[in-house]
Structure 1
Amino acid sequence: MKKFLGATLLCALSFGAFAQNEISYNVSFPNAIHHEAEISMSITDVPSGTLKVRMSRSSPGRYATHEFGKNVYNFKAFDSNGKALAIKRSAGDVYEIPSHGSTVKVTYTLFGNWIDGTYAGFDESHAHMNIPATFAFPVGMDARPRLVQFKYNEKQNWKVATQLKPLANNTFYAANLQYFMDSPIEIADYKTAKWEVKNKDGKLQTIHLITHSNDTQKTIDNYAEMLKKMVDEHVAVWGEFPTYDYGNYYFLDDVYPDNAGDGMEHRNSTSIVQRTPKIEGYETNLLGTFSHEYFHSWNVERLRPKTLEPFNFEHSNISDELWLAEGFTQYYGSLLLTRAGLKTVDNAAQTFEGMVNAVLNSPGAKNYSPIDASRYAVFADAGVAIDQTNKSNIFLSYYTYGAATALALDLRLRSEFKLTLDDYMRALWKAHGKPEIPYTVQDLQKVLSELTKSPSFANEFFSSYIYGTKKNDYAKLLLNAGFVLRKANPGKAYAGFGRATAVDGKVTLPQTLIGTPAYEAGLDVDDVILTIDDKKVNGLADLNAVTDAHRPGDVVAITYLYRGEQKTTELTFSENPMLEIVSIEKTGGTLTPAMQSFRANWLNSQVKSR
C-alpha cells in the first residue's frame, strides 16, 4: 500500500496512539508457492479465565456457513515469554487456552488456494484474502481495534490494496472486528487507475480500480473510463455518493482463467474475481459484476437489513430481506449498464426476459414467496452440504426473484403513480441508508406507502408479492414501454426433461420440476431414458426429434431404467411455457409516442437529471 498510496496518505496515528488493547496480526508468505501463509496474532490485556480463539464460519456478503477452520493447522499459543501454552480444541474451528497471562500470542499456518470473494488464495503472484477465511479472532473482544502488518520483502513488486486504514510500516488498522472482517485485501504487483468524484456536499472522494491481471496499463485506463460512466448512473439513482471511510472506494479485481470467480461487496470496496484470460477483449462481459457490486455500496452496506446487524461470524445469518438487498441490486446492476450506454436495449430486454421466465415458470416462485426465498439463502448460498436437495422445486434465487419484483414495482410506479423505483430507492436511502438505521420488511412497506401516498397500494403490493406468491401482470406492465411479452415457441410440444445428459449412449435425466410433463409422468433424477414413442434414445438429439415431431396434448410411451429396473410410463406433452420479450416494433406493431417516452425515461441515461 505504501507504494500505491504514497507517503502523503500515511496516517499520523502510531501504535502508541491506540488504547493499547488492540489485537495485532503479522502475516508473511515464505511458502506462497505451496499456497501457505504464516499468521501470528498478539492479544494484550487478556481477561482471566479460558481464552477462546476461533475461525469464522460465515462471511459478510455470504449467508450460508463456510468452514474456514478446515484450512488452519500448526496452531500454537505462547505467553509473553515465549512459553508454549496448553490448547484444548473444543470444535473444529475453536481453540481454548485455559491457563495464560495477560498477553497471549497465537500462531498458525493457513492454506489457501481458492481465488474468489469468499476464501483465500496464496501463490507466487499474489495474496488474495477474504478476512474471515484468513484471520482467527478471540471471542468476546469484538470492540477492540485490529492492526495487521504484512511482510513480503522477498517479493519486491508486491503492494497492498485494501479499504483498511493505512499506517506506517506496511501496517493497517480497523476500529473493530466487524469492520476488519468486511475489508478484503489484495497484495500483488497490480496495475491501478483512479479518479475523483465530488459529492453533494462538495467533498472529493477517490475511486480506485486495482487490477491483478495480464493487461496493459492502457487497457486498465480505458476500462476505468467505462467504469466512470457506470458510476455516474449509479449516483443518479441515489442522488449522492455514500461517504466512503477515509475518502476511498476500491474495486479489487483479480482476473485469471483458473480463478473460481465471484463478486463480493464490502463497505468501501468490492472483491471481483473473474475467469477470463484478461480484461482486454472481455470488457463488456465483465461489467455486470462491477455494476452489481458497486450498487451494494449503498444497498446492503449502508441501506442494511436489521436481520444482518450485527453480522454473526459463528453461524449462518438468516434474513427476510434478501429479495431487496440482493434482488433489487441484481435488477439495477443490469439496468444501469443500459442507461450508461454500455449495454443495448436488446440486452436489457433479454435480461428482463430471464427474470420474468423464472418468476412465472419456476415452481419455486409459484409456491414460495420472496421472503421464503430469502430465508433459504442459509442453505443455497454456496453452502457446504453435498447431499441432493429439492431446491429446484422449492426455491428460486432471491437474486432473480427480487430482480423480477423490482422490475414489476418500477413499471407499476411509473404507470400508476408517475414515480420510479429510483424514487423509492432514494426514499429508502433518506430514511434508512444515509443515517444507517437498519430496516425491517415493515419499514420497507412504510416507505413505499409514504412515497406513493397510498397505504392501500403498499399493503397490496407487500401482502401479495412479498409475503405472498401472487404474480404481477408483466405483459401489461411491459407494454407501457413498447415491449411485448409472448410465448417464445407457441404451439410447440414440451416434455420438461431439463438438462438431460448423454454419456456413452445413455441419456440420464436431472431432477424434474413440479408441473412439467416429465414430473407428472413419474420421471425423476438419474432415470435413464431407453425409448420414447417406440424410438430408441441414444442421445439428446433423439429426445429433441421426438418432441419436435409432436404437438401439445399428444401422449407417448416411455421406457426407462430406474435403479437398473426397466419401467414404462406415459407422458403427455404440454405447450412450451418459455416466454420472450420483444420490442413492439419488431412484432410489426406500432411504438406509440407514449410508449417511446416511457421506454426512454426508463432505459436512457439519468445523469442529467441528478
Structure 2
Amino acid sequence: MKKFALFTIALLTIIMTNYTESHAAGNVKISYEVKFPEAQAHYADIEMNITGLMQNSLDLKMPVWTPGSYLVREFAKNLESFSVEANGKTIPFIKTRKNIWHINTTNLSAIKIRYRMYSFEISVRTAFIDVTHAFLSTSGMFLYPDGMLMHPSTIHIVPYKGWDKVSTSLEMVNNDPFTRTAPNYDILFDSPIEVGNQDVFGFKAAGVDYEVAMYGGGNYDKERLKKDMAHIVELETAVYGENPNKHYTFIVHNYSKGGGGLEHLSSTVLGASRNSYNTETGYQNFLALVSHEHFHLWNVKRLRPVALGPFDYDNENYTTDLWIAEGFTAYYDNIVVQRTKLYSTENYLGVLAADINIVENSQGAKIQPLSQSSYDAWIKAYRPDENSANTTISYYNKGSVAALLLDLEIINDSQSKYCLDDVMKYMYTEYYKLKKRGYTDTEFKQGLEKFAGKNLDSFYQKYINGLDAIDYNKYLGYAGYKLTDDLAASNNPTLGIKTVAAGTNVKVTGVGRGTAGWTDGINVNDEITAIDGQPIADPKNLLGDKKVGDKITVTVTRDGQSLNLPVTLLRNNDFKYKIESIDSPSAAQLAVRKKWLSL
C-alpha cells in the first residue's frame, strides 16, 4: 500500500511536470531575423527572439547533421559571437555540450539571442554565402529550444544589397516573400532557403505548382526543362498514385563543375554544371538528378525506414535500409527517364551496365554487405579514404542493382502482372498513410514478397546481408537479355594502382586489393620515378609493352627516399560489361521486357 502511494505521488509529479512544461512551451513564440552585413566575408547574422517563457532554464541546440546526408557535420563549429539579452541586459549562459547553450531564464518571459554563422562550404548539404547569393541549409543555421521541436517559428530575411528573391518551400507570412513560417522544426530543418537574384520559373504537374530557382547562370533551355521536368513529375506521381505537395521548389546551383543533390520534404537542392545542359549526356544526367531527388519526396521523406524519423538531431540515426532509401531511388532515377522516351532503350541499358561495372569492379563489394554499407554510412560513406574502394560498397550503386534484380524477379514471378512500382505504392500507402510510421527491415521484405509471391530469404541472405556473386544472367534472362564482358578475352598487365600526374612523374592515389601493386608493396603517396630504371615517358602508359608475368622494378620516392620495388605484373581483372538481347527471346521473356521497360 505504501509503495503504491509513493508510486502514485511520483506518477502525478511526472504528469504535472510534463503538463507544466507542455503548457509553458505552448505559450512560447519563436522568431528569427537573418541579415548579411558581411556577405563578402561569408557571414549571416541571426537574431532569435523567444517570448512567452514560463520556465527557469532553457537549452538551445544546433543540429549536428542534416537529414538526407548521413554524416555528423558539427554545424556548431561555424557559430560564433553567441550572446543573450533580456530586458536590455546581458544574460549569462553556459555551453554544456558541443552544440548546446544553457541559459538561466528564471523570472524571464522573453530573451533575445544573437549569433553569427560562417558559411563558406559549397555543397548541397551546407550553407554558403557571398555577395552573389546566400544558400541557407537550415539545419546548419538555426538554433532550436530543447523540448520544442514541434513548435512553430517565423524567419524574416533582410536581404543583402541588390538581392530581390527568396526561394524555399516554407510558406510566406502575409504574402511577404522575405518572411516565412515553419509549423515545426522538422519542417524548418527540411526546407533550405535560397536568397539572391536567382532566375525563377515554374510549371504545373500532377496538380502541384513547381518552382525552379536557378543560381549561377547556364545554357539551359527553360521551356525544354519545364516540359521534361513536368513529365518526370507526372511519371513518378503515377508510381505512388498521388503527389502529397501543394507546391515544390527546385533550388539549382550551377557551377563550372557541379553535381549532387539533397532531398527535402517539399523541395530539393541540385548541383549542376552550368554549360552542360546542351549536350546529350549532360542533359540526361541533369534529368536523372531531377528524377532522383524528386523521387525522394516519397521514398525516404515519407516512405521511410523506421529509424529515419522522428529525428535525433544530436546523434547518428542508424538504419540498415539506405540501400532501399537511396539505392531504389538511384534505380528509379534512370528508369523514370527511360519511361519519358527521351532516350533510347540501348542508352538505358548502357546506364544499367555502368552501375553493374561499378559494383563488380569494386573490391569492397567482396568485403562489405549491402545492409552493412547502409549502417556504416555515418563513418564510411561520407568519409572515403585511399582504401575505401577496397573495403566498402556504395549503397547507391549496389542498392540500384538490387532494385533491378527485384523488379525483374517480381515481373517474372507474377507473369508480368506486378513490378517494383506496386511494392512502392503499397508500402507508401500501408506505412506512411495508414500506419503513419516508418517500416522495419522485415516489413519491407514482406512487401517485396507480397508481390513476388514467394519467400525472399535466399535473395536477402546472398545479396543484401551476404557477399555472394550476383547471378546477373538469371535475372536479365527473365527479360531476354544477357550480360557480356568486353574484356573477358583480354590479357593486359596492370599494376592495379590509381595515379595523378606529379611533374614528370606520377603519384599513387590508390592501390587495388589483390593487384600487383598491392601484393608487391606499392603504397599510396609513393611517387613513381622510373620503371626498370627508365624515367617515366608516358604517365598514362607506365607499362609500355610489358606483359602479364613480367618481373619489373618500380622505382618510387617515399618520404624523401628512393626505393626499388620488384613487382610481378598480373592480369587486369576489371570487367567491362554490356547488356545485350539474347537470340530469339521467348514470348514470356518479351512480355517481361515490355512490362519492365514500358515498351
Relative to the length of structure 2, the TM-score reads: 0.87
Query: How big is each residue's C-alpha offset from its partner over 1:158-196, in whole Å with a ceiling of 9 and x where there is no partner?
Result: 122221122124422222111111111112333333333
Give the structure 1 partner of residue 224 of structure 2.
Answer: 222
Change (3 A) 1:348 1:74: same
Change (3 A) 1:559 1:253: closer
Superposed counterparts of 1:95-110, under 5 Å = 95-98=101-104, 101-110=108-117
Give the structure 1 partner of residue 404 of structure 2.
Answer: 407
Q: Which amino acid aligns with 1:465?
A: Y
Query: How big is each residue's C-alpha offset from its partner over 1:41-87, in whole Å with a ceiling of 9 and x where there is no partner?
Result: 112233544422232210011111112122222211101x1211113
Shift of 1:454: 1.5
Change (3 A) 1:559 1:575: closer
Residues 483 and 581 in structure 1, CA contact (< 8 A), matched pair in contact too: no
Indicate the structure whose relative CO is greater, using CA pairs within 8 Å and at least 6 residues apart.
Answer: 1
Cα separation, 2, equivalents of 1:54 and 1:339: 45
Aligned with 1:46 (options 53, 57, 65): 53
Shift of 1:423: 2.2
Query: How big is each residue's C-alpha offset from its partner over 1:320-346, in whole Å with a ceiling of 9 and x where there is no partner?
Result: 110110011011111111111233323
Give the structure 1 partner of residue 373 of structure 2.
Answer: 373
Aligned with 2:271 (options 273, 278, 282): 273
Partner of 1:271, secondary structure, is: strand
Shift of 1:391: 1.9
Cα separation, 1, equivalents of 2:277 and 2:200: 13
Residues 149 and 185 in structure 2, CA contact (< 8 A), matched pair in contact too: yes
Change (3 A) 1:453 1:541: closer
Give the structure 1 partner of residue 514 of structure 2.
Answer: 515
Aligned with 2:91 (options 81, 85, 89): 85
Query: How big is each residue's C-alpha offset from its partner over 1:226-248, in whole Å with a ceiling of 9 and x where there is no partner?
Result: 1012122212332x12311xx11
Cα separation, 1, equivalents of 2:504 and 2:51: 66
Cα separation, 2, equivalents of 1:495 and 1:505: 20
Cα separation, 2, equivalents of 1:565 and 1:153: 55
Partner of 2:497, secondary structure, is: coil
Partner of 2:180, secondary structure, is: strand
Change (3 A) 1:593 1:447: closer
Aligned with 2:598 (options 601, 604, 607): 604
Task: Confirm whether residue 322 of structure 1 aligns to residue 322 of structure 2.
Answer: yes
Task: Confirm whether residue 209 of structure 1 aligns to residue 217 of structure 2.
Answer: no
Task: Confirm whether residue 573 of structure 1 aligns to residue 570 of structure 2.
Answer: yes
Change (3 A) 1:565 1:304: same
Give the structure 1 partner of residue 130 of structure 2.
Answer: 123
Change (3 A) 1:510 1:211: closer
Residues 534 and 557 in structure 1, CA contact (< 8 A), matched pair in contact too: no
Residues 427 and 451 in structure 1, CA contact (< 8 A), matched pair in contact too: no
Give the structure 2 partner of residue 4 of structure 1.
Answer: none
The answer for unaligned runs of 5 or more in structure 2 is: 1-24
Give the structure 2 partner of residue 3 of structure 1.
Answer: none
Q: Which amino acid aligns with 1:127?
A: A
Percent of paired sites with the same residue = 26
Superposed counterparts of 1:340-351, under 5 Å = 340-351=340-351
Count of matched residue pairs: 564
Query: How big is each residue's C-alpha offset from its partner over 1:282-314, in whole Å with a ceiling of 9 and x where there is no partner?
Result: 533321211110110110001111111221212
Shift of 1:405: 1.0
Give the structure 1 partner of residue 551 of structure 2.
Answer: 556
Partner of 1:470, secondary structure, is: coil
Give the structure 2 partner of residue 177 of structure 1.
Answer: 185
Cα separation, 2, equivalents of 1:494 and 1:153: 58
Shift of 1:215: 5.6
Partner of 2:224, secondary structure, is: helix
Partner of 1:374, secondary structure, is: helix
Cα separation, 1, equivalents of 2:574 and 2:278: 38
Q: Which amino acid aligns with 1:462?
A: Y
Partner of 1:509, secondary structure, is: strand
Partner of 2:200, secondary structure, is: strand
Change (3 A) 1:545 1:596: farther
Shift of 1:464: 2.0
The answer for unaligned runs of 5 or more in structure 1 is: 1-17, 199-203, 606-610
Give the structure 2 partner of residue 7 of structure 1.
Answer: none
Residues 204 and 230 in structure 2, CA contact (< 8 A), matched pair in contact too: no
Residues 153 and 181 in structure 2, CA contact (< 8 A), matched pair in contact too: yes
Residues 482 and 599 in structure 1, CA contact (< 8 A), matched pair in contact too: yes
Change (3 A) 1:279 1:536: closer
Moved more, 576-585 or 224-233: 576-585
Residues 547 and 569 in structure 2, CA contact (< 8 A), matched pair in contact too: no
Moved more, 326-335 or 62-71: 62-71
- Could you list the structure 1 runs, at least 4 aligned residues long, displaced by more than 4 angstroms after superposition: 277-282, 530-536, 589-597
Q: Which amino acid aligns with 1:229?
A: H
Superposed counterparts of 1:191-206, under 5 Å = 191-198=199-206, 204-206=207-209
> Cα RMSD over matched residues?
2.7
Moved more, 321-330 or 589-598: 589-598
Relative to the length of structure 1, the TM-score reads: 0.85
Aligned with 1:167 (options 168, 173, 181): 173
Give the structure 1 partner of residue 37 of structure 2.
Answer: 30
Q: Which amino acid aligns with 1:560?
A: T
Q: Which amino acid aligns with 2:499?
A: A
Change (3 A) 1:195 1:434: farther
